[in-house]
Amino acid sequence: MPVAKAYTRAELDGLVACPACDALHRRVDVPVGSRSRCLRCHTVLTAPRNSAMTQIVMLAATGVVLMVAAMVFPFLSIDARGFSQNSSVLDAVMAFSDGIMLPLSIATVALIVFLPLLRLGAVIYALAPMAIGYAPAKGAARAFRLAQALKPWAMAEIFIIGVAVALVKIAGLATLTIGPAFWAFAALALVMALKDTLMCRLTVWKTLEQRRLS
Site for another protein in 46-75 (CB under 8 A): none
| 35 binds another protein, rule: CB under 8 A | no
CB count within 10 Å of CB 168 equals 8
| 10 binds another protein, rule: CB under 8 A | no
| 96 binds another protein, rule: CB under 8 A | yes
The binder of another protein chosen from 78, 150, 178, 187 (CB under 8 A): 78
Nearest CB to another protein, comparing residues 61 and 148: 148
Is residue 60 within 8 A of residue 75, CB to CB? The reply is no
72 vs 5: CA distance, rounded Å: 59
**Which part of the chain contacts another protein (CB under 8 A), choosing from 51-59, 63-71, 107-115, 189-197?**
107-115
**Which part of the chain contacts another protein (CB under 8 A), choosing from 61-69, 99-107, 128-136, 185-193?**
99-107
Nearest CB to another protein, comparing residues 45 and 124: 45
Count of CA atoms in the C-beta half-sphere (13 A) of 181: 23
Q: Which amino acid is it at 166?
A: A
Is residue 52 within 8 A of residue 105, CB to CB? The reply is no
Q: How near is the Cβ of 20 to another protein at its closest, in Å?
A: 5
Nearest CB to another protein, comparing residues 61 and 111: 111
Q: How near is the Cβ of 212 to another protein at its closest, in Å?
A: 9
Torsion of CA 102, 71, 156, 47, to 10 degrees: -140
Q: Which residues partner with 87 through β-bridges?
A: 76
172 vs 149: CA distance, rounded Å: 41
For the segment 148-207, give every residue that binds another protein (CB under 8 A): 148, 152-153, 155, 158-159, 161-163, 165-166, 168-170, 172-174, 201-202, 205
Question: How many residues line the site for another protein (CB under 8 A)?
Answer: 74
Q: Angle CA(181)–CA(65)–CA(164) in degrees, nearest 5?
A: 30
Nearest CB to another protein, comparing residues 39 and 68: 39
Q: How far is CA 174 from CA 36, 138, 182, 207, 211, in A?
A: 52, 53, 18, 54, 57
For the segment 14-33, give every residue that binds another protein (CB under 8 A): 15-24
